[in-house]
Chains A and B, each alone.
Chain A
Amino acid sequence: METQKVSMSAKINRKTKTKTSKVRVSTPIKHLIIIALGILMLYPLIWMVSSSFKPDEEIFTNPSFWPETFTWDNYIQGWAGLSGVSFGKFFLNSIFLVTMAMIGNVLSGSMAAYAFAKLDFAFKKILFALMLMTLMLPFHVTVIPQYILFNEIDMVNTYWPLIIPKFLAVEGFFIFLMVQFIRGIPGELMQAAEIDGCGPIRMYWKLILPLALPAVITTMIFTFIWTWNDFFGQLLYLSDINKYTVALGLRMFLDAMGQNSWGAMFAMSTLSLVPLFTVFIFFQKYLIEGIATGGLKG
């Protein structure tokens, strides 16, 4: 999660691209190196997917991509889950958690971003600096008291400790992302709306939020990926198997089956990556541009 999180710090509203080279040289050797390296990198993933269709004993004997005996058994066995809870349940739980996290981050993040970008109030600069400081803060310095707090109010083993922080914009990164974007919305547009009798709350809802849609989508995508991949928080707060997410379900699988059931484990691991991959395919533009423009100065 952190890797992606930190590698962008969006300035998504500025895109200046200068052509690097006027001559397009595409030497076959270069392509060959790039493709060979790419296959080497992706082979473990591809192999995992193909192995999820192999019987267990074949996984360890057949390093090739193509299964000798093709079987759906791993998926059937894996989907059945453990202790009477099916993997479908874990998927539903993860989807619920991710949806809530996306709503929370978008709402709280865009509200704070609107305030920082377009409204005037006392101590704005200090508060903004504080927000930037929280970006660098390792969450370990807050996690223990947070756990004690959620334990005191009987929220351990519920989804609340994982959802509430999103609605309180604890991930300042998204505020930063949206501030950069909302700053670029022309003031004249807002003045025009004001003259037409648009109040500040309607302004946020009807003007700012729709105009900041690209930043909102980027926020949603990254929230999706990080929450889906999150393990520490879910491990900490969820202990009832009926509340397990995909990540926890996989871990339980690994513990319960050990080395005996790689086929089913690979099958469920593959399934767990499908939502990430789907988001990547459909929203690649937002994802790559979000990261790409992220590290740039200016």
Chain B
Amino acid sequence: MQTIKSIWQKNWLGYLFLSPWLIGLLCLTAIPMAASLYLSFTNYDMFTAPQWVGFENYGDMFDDRKWLASVKVTAIFVFLGVPLQLSFALAIALLLNKGISGLKVYRAAYYVPSLFGGSVAIAILWRQLFGGDGLVNHALSLVGIEGMNWIATPDTALYTLVVLTVWQFGAPMVIFLAGLQQIPVDLYEAARIDGANKMKQFISITIPMLSPIIFFNLIMQIIASFQAFTQAYIVSGGTGGPLNSTLFYTLYLYQKGFTHFQMGYASAMAWILLFAIAIITALVFASAKKWVYYQE
């Protein structure tokens, strides 16, 4: 009995403070994950009892043209949007870094789109901007270019959303700026004495010293981009159109799970998403050995 008592005395306080989180972990994360995995092997539809269908949901996906479209759309969005956004973020951070006066004002101004970017309001604005008689076409007509309805054209709709992501480069930019400020000035001075020009300094000092931050931004933006939803929903009115060109993976998952109530299928989709994110994150982590430089 003594031991039980002493175990209790040692642990009760920690677990008391941990209890809300533990309950959440159990009831809102762990059990739902297990349930989701189970449901992904069933044909559950909310109204009738789930029936085991084995790997049918997973197999069906590869014959589902809309699913394939959503994978393609999401892949383009992630692999085009993230590098572009981070390049912009880095370029502007470099521009702002070199002891420029008014840094705080500029930084705040460039950050504003990141603050607003995820909102419904901005998605609505985007719909107007890139619409047939939107602001973008107005601007183009000033220089004699005839625009089109970018949102309603399947070939361009997705790219208006890529632009929206790139537009929100402020948050990674702020992180890059903080990272740049931690690079010791001596390194540049030593390089200057050795006769290295600006370009050489950038490649041999800035990039390696900044690589852990680039890595962090890359991982975080990839994970976030895979889960993008609001902008595609609002811009396409919830359809993912035109011709599925803005059918983000999460939007299709939402349609399957909560409009068609094919919850088994939607659960399987969620697990594929989890695996996709895990594999790509793991690849980036594996590549880190080659290009991320950690000082010790």
Interface residues of A (CB under 8 A from B): 1-9, 16-26, 30-31, 33-34, 37-38, 41-42, 44-45, 47-48, 59-60, 63, 107-108, 111-112, 114-116, 119-122, 124, 127, 130-131, 134, 136-149, 151, 164-165, 167-170, 172, 175, 200, 204, 225, 228-229, 231-232, 235-236, 246-247, 250-251, 254-255, 259, 262, 265-266, 268-270, 272-273, 276-277, 280, 284, 288, 291-297
Contacting residue for B181 out of A18, A140, A236, CB 8 A: A18
Contacts of A31 in B (CB 8 A): 100, 102
Kindly name the residue among B142, B175, B183, B294 whose own CB sees the greatest number of chain A CB atoms within 10 A. B175
Contacts of A246 in B (CB 8 A): 120
Is B21 close to A, CB under 8 A? yes
Contacts of A44 in B (CB 8 A): 125, 129, 135
Check B266 against A121 for contact (C-beta < 8 Å): no
Tally the A-B contacts, defined by beta carbons under 8 Å.
Answer: 311
| Distance of A200 Cα from B9 Cα, bound (Å) | 13
Is B87 close to A, CB under 8 A? no
Is B133 close to A, CB under 8 A? yes
Check A145 against B31 for contact (C-beta < 8 Å): yes
Is B154 close to A, CB under 8 A? no
CB of B118 to closest CB in A, whole Å: 5
Known contacts A17-B181, A20-B181, A145-B36: A4-B171 contact under CB 8 Å: yes
Is B117 close to A, CB under 8 A? yes
Kindly name the residue among A130, A138, A144 whose own CB sees the greatest number of chain B CB atoms within 10 A. A144
In chain B, positions 130-180 with a C-beta closer than 8 Å to chain A are: 131, 133, 135, 138-139, 142, 167-168, 171-172, 174-175, 177-180
CB of B165 to closest CB in A, whole Å: 8
Contacts of B100 in A (CB 8 A): 24-26, 30-31, 34
Known contacts A119-B13, A144-B36: A229-B21 contact under CB 8 Å: no
CB of A146 to closest CB in B, whole Å: 5
Check B135 against A169 for contact (C-beta < 8 Å): no
A-facing mask of B205-221, CB < 8 A → 1, else 0? Answer: 00000001100110011
Q: What would 14 A/B residue contacts be, using CB atoms closer than 8 Å?
A: A3-B117, A18-B183, A20-B183, A59-B128, A108-B24, A134-B29, A148-B46, A148-B263, A169-B20, A231-B234, A276-B116, A295-B172, A296-B213, A297-B294
Is B201 close to A, CB under 8 A? no
Check A138 against B223 for contact (C-beta < 8 Å): yes
A-facing mask of B1-33, CB < 8 A → 1, else 0? Answer: 000000100110111011011111101110111
Check A144 against B257 for contact (C-beta < 8 Å): yes
Check A60 against B36 for contact (C-beta < 8 Å): no
Is B58 close to A, CB under 8 A? no
Beta-carbon nearest neighbor of A168 in chain B: B24
Check B229 against A276 for contact (C-beta < 8 Å): no
Apart from the given pairs A63-B139, A144-B257, 6 other A-B contacts in the complex at a CB distance below 8 Å: A21-B99, A24-B101, A136-B281, A232-B254, A266-B125, A294-B175
Beta-carbon nearest neighbor of B228 in chain A: A2
CB of B45 to closest CB in A, whole Å: 11
Contacts of A30 in B (CB 8 A): 95, 98, 100
Interface size on B, as a range, is 35 or more
Is B193 close to A, CB under 8 A? no
Contacts of B133 in A (CB 8 A): 60
Interface residues of B (CB under 8 A from A): 7, 10-11, 13-15, 17-18, 20-25, 27-29, 31-33, 35-36, 39, 46, 92, 95-102, 106-122, 124-125, 127-129, 131, 133, 135, 138-139, 142, 167-168, 171-172, 174-175, 177-185, 212-213, 216-217, 220-221, 223-224, 226-230, 233-234, 237, 250, 253-254, 257-258, 263, 266-267, 269-271, 273-274, 277, 281, 294
Check B274 against A137 for contact (C-beta < 8 Å): yes
Contacting residue for A231 out of B167, B177, B182, B233, CB 8 A: B233
CB of A103 to closest CB in B, whole Å: 12
| Distance of A140 Cα from B124 Cα, bound (Å) | 24
Check B24 against A127 for contact (C-beta < 8 Å): no
Contacting residue for A144 out of B18, B174, B228, B263, CB 8 A: B263
Check B24 against A169 for contact (C-beta < 8 Å): yes
| Distance of A139 Cα from B110 Cα, bound (Å) | 29
Contacts of A251 in B (CB 8 A): 120, 234
Known contacts A120-B14, A145-B32: A276-B118 contact under CB 8 Å: no
Check A124 against B14 for contact (C-beta < 8 Å): yes
Check B96 against A34 for contact (C-beta < 8 Å): yes
Contacting residue for A280 out of B24, B115, B167, B178, CB 8 A: B115
Check B118 against A23 for contact (C-beta < 8 Å): no
| Distance of A240 Cα from B138 Cα, bound (Å) | 39
Contacts of B174 in A (CB 8 A): 7, 288, 291-292
Check B128 against A145 for contact (C-beta < 8 Å): no
Contacting residue for B125 out of A48, A137, A165, CB 8 A: A48
Check B266 against A144 for contact (C-beta < 8 Å): yes
| Distance of A24 Cα from B98 Cα, bound (Å) | 8
Kindly name the residue among B21, B102, B217, B254 whose own CB sees the greatest number of chain A CB atoms within 10 A. B21
CB of B9 to closest CB in A, whole Å: 11
